[in-house]
A and B are shown apart, each in its own frame.
Chain A
Amino acid sequence: MTALLTADWCQYGKDSYMRKTEVYSMDWLNEVDLDTSILTPAPFGGPIAVRRDRSKLAEVKFSGKPIVTVYTASGRKLETFLWNNGNIVETGWSCSDELLFIQEDGCVLTYDMFGNYQHTFSMGQEAQELSVIEGKIFSTFYGSDSITGVAVLTKAYRIFIVSNVKEPKVRRLPVIPGPNVRPNAWAVICKDRQILVLVARGQELYLLNPSEPQAIQQKYLNIDSMNIGTMRISVLNIAVSQDYSCVAMQTDMGQIWIGSSDLDKNYRIYDTRASHPSKQLVWCGTFAVLGVWDSKVTVIGKLDHSLNLNFPYDWPVHLVQEVDCVRVVSTFSTDIIQQVPLVVQEIFRVDSTSPGSNLFEASKQFQKQSHRADDYIQQVKPDLQLAITQCIQAAGHEFNPVHQKMLITAASFGKVFSADYNPEKYVEMCRILRVLNAVRDPKIGIPLTYTQLKEYLTVPTLLDKLIARRQYYLAIQAAKYLRLSGKEDGSHILAHWAFYKVKQTSVDRDTIAEEIASKLGNNPGVSYTEIAKKAADYGRTQLAIKLLDYEPRASLQVPLLLRLGQDRTALQKAISSGNTDLVYTVLLHLRDNMSSLRELQMEIRKFPLAQALYLKYCKEHNKDALRDIYLQEDDHLEQAACYIRDVYNPKNDLAKQVVLVSAQEAYKRGKNDLNAALCDEQLRLLNHQKSLEENFKRGFVNLSLHDTIKTLLEIGEVKLADKLRSEYKVPDKRYWWLRIMTLAANDQWRDLENFSKSKKPPIGFEPFVDVCLERGKPEEAQKYFSRIKEENKVKYYIKLGMHEEAAKLAFAQRDRESLRFIQAKADKSVAVKIAPLLAALEEKK
Chain B
Amino acid sequence: MSYLSRGKINIQEVQENSWKELLQLLEKCVGTKAIVWDEPLADAIGSIAMFSLLRDQDVVKMFPLRRGRLPIGQNPLTVYKNIIFITRPQVNLMDMIADNIHGEERTSGPHKMSTFHLFFVPNRSLLCEQILKNRGVYGNFTFIEEFACTIFPFDYDLLSMELDSAFKELHLESDPSYMYQAAQAIMMLQDLYGVIPRVSGKGLAAKHVWDLLKRLSLEPRTPKKHITHSQIDHLLLLDRSIDLVSPLVTQLTYEGLIDELFQINRCTVHLPPEKFSHSNEDQKDVIAGKKQIILNSADDIFAELRDKNFNAVGSTLNRRAKLISSQLDERHGDRTVQEMKQFVDRLPKMLASKKSLAIHTTVAELIKETADSSEFLDSLMVEQDMVLGVDTDKINPRIEECIAKKVPLVKVLRLICLQSATNSGLKPKILDFYKREIIQTYGFEHIISLTNLEKCGLLKVQSGQRQFMVVRKTLRLTIEDCDEINPTDINYVHSIYAPLSVRLAQHATKPNGWANLQDSLQLLPGPVVDHHQNIPPSQLSQRNNITSQNDAPKVVLVFFLGGCTYAEISALRFLSQQEESNVEFIIATTKIINGNSFIKSLMEPLVPES
Contact = CB atoms under 8 A, between A and B. Distances in A.
B174 A580 contact: no
Nearest to A555: B219
A375 B423 CA distance: 100
B400 A734 contact: yes
A737 B404 contact: yes
Interface residues of A, number: 54
Listed residue (A578, A730, A734) with the most chain B CB atoms within 10 angstroms of its CB: A578
A411 to B, nearest CB: 34
A674 interface: yes
Nearest to A559: B126
Given A648-B607, A733-B404, A581 B175 contact: no
Interface in A9-59: none
A409 interface: no
Listed residue (A576, A616, A621) with the most chain B CB atoms within 10 angstroms of its CB: A616
B474 interface: no
Given A522-B218, A704-B443, A706-B440, A578 B183 contact: yes
A588 B126 contact: yes
A704 B174 contact: no
Contact of A734 (B175, B437, B606): B437
A532 B403 CA distance: 64
A836 interface: no
A831 interface: no
A675 to B, nearest CB: 6
Listed residue (A576, A703, A731, A741) with the most chain B CB atoms within 10 angstroms of its CB: A731
A705 B440 contact: yes
B451 A641 contact: yes
Contact of A588 (B91, B130, B173): B130
A346 B440 CA distance: 108
Interface string B420-445: 00000000000010011101111111
A644 B208 CA distance: 34
A827 B156 CA distance: 44
A617 B212 CA distance: 23
Contacts of A584: 125-127
A577 interface: yes
Given A585-B126, A645-B448, A704-B441, A799 B606 contact: no
Interface string A704-724: 111100000000000000000
Contact of B439 (A576, A620, A678): A678
Contact of B180 (A580, A733, A763): A580
Contacts of B397: 733
A178 interface: no
A608 interface: yes
B179 interface: yes
Given A584-B125, A617-B127, A620-B92, A731 B219 contact: no
Contacts of B435: 674, 678
A598 interface: no
A730 B400 contact: no
Contacts of B91: 617, 620-621
Interface residues of B, number: 49
A400 interface: no
Contacts of A616: 173, 175
Contacts, number: 127
B175 A577 contact: no
Contacts of A581: 89, 123-127, 177
Nearest to B180: A578
A122 interface: no
B436 A678 contact: yes
B214 to A, nearest CB: 11
A705 B607 contact: no
A253 interface: no
B284 interface: no
Interface in B221-264: 221
Nearest to B400: A733
A728 B124 CA distance: 53
Contacts of B532: none
Interface string A373-413: 00000000000000000000000000000000000000000
A608 B174 contact: yes
B447 A675 contact: yes
A685 B440 CA distance: 10
Nearest to B607: A648
A637 B124 contact: no
A553 interface: yes
Contacts of B221: 524
Nearest to B182: A578
Interface string A570-612: 0000001111111011001000000000000000000011001
A223 interface: no
B176 interface: yes
Interface string B577-610: 0000000000000000000000000000011000
Contact of A738 (B208, B404, B437): B404
Interface in A734-770: 734, 737-738, 741, 763, 767
Given A678-B436, A741-B405, A648 B606 contact: yes
A613 interface: yes
A238 B506 CA distance: 88
Interface in B461-499: none
Interface string A614-656: 0111001100000000000000010001001101100000000
Contacts of A641: 448, 451
Nearest to A612: B174
Interface string A677-701: 0100110010000000000000000
Contacts of A763: 401
B116 to A, nearest CB: 22
Contacts of A620: 91-92
B535 to A, nearest CB: 16
A505 interface: no
A799 B374 contact: yes
A609 B176 contact: yes
Contact of A704 (B127, B175, B444): B444
A647 B218 CA distance: 50
A86 interface: no
A609 B442 CA distance: 35
B220 interface: yes
A702 interface: yes
Contacts of A615: 173
A662 to B, nearest CB: 14
Contacts of A522: 218, 220
Contact of B175 (A612, A644, A703, A795): A612
Contacts of B319: none
A674 B176 contact: no
Contacts of A312: none
Nearest to B95: A620
A644 B218 contact: no
Contacts of A612: 173-175
A143 to B, nearest CB: 26
A612 B443 CA distance: 29
Interface of B: 89, 91-92, 123-127, 130, 173-177, 179-180, 183, 208, 211-212, 215, 218-221, 374, 397, 400-401, 403-406, 432, 435-437, 439-445, 447-448, 451, 606-607
Given A612-B175, A644-B447, A738-B404, 8 more contacts: A576-B215, A584-B125, A588-B126, A616-B173, A648-B607, A678-B436, A706-B440, A795-B374
22 contacts: A576-B215, A578-B211, A579-B180, A580-B175, A581-B127, A581-B177, A584-B126, A584-B127, A585-B126, A585-B127, A644-B448, A644-B606, A674-B435, A675-B451, A678-B435, A678-B447, A681-B440, A702-B443, A706-B406, A707-B441, A741-B405, A795-B374
Interface of A: 522, 524-525, 552-553, 576-582, 584-585, 588, 608-609, 612-613, 615-617, 620-621, 637, 641, 644-645, 647-648, 674-675, 678, 681-682, 685, 702-707, 728, 730-731, 733-734, 737-738, 741, 763, 767, 795, 799
Q: What are the 7 tightest A-B residue pairs by CB atom distance, in nearest-first order? A: A612-B174, A524-B220, A737-B404, A648-B606, A704-B443, A706-B441, A552-B218
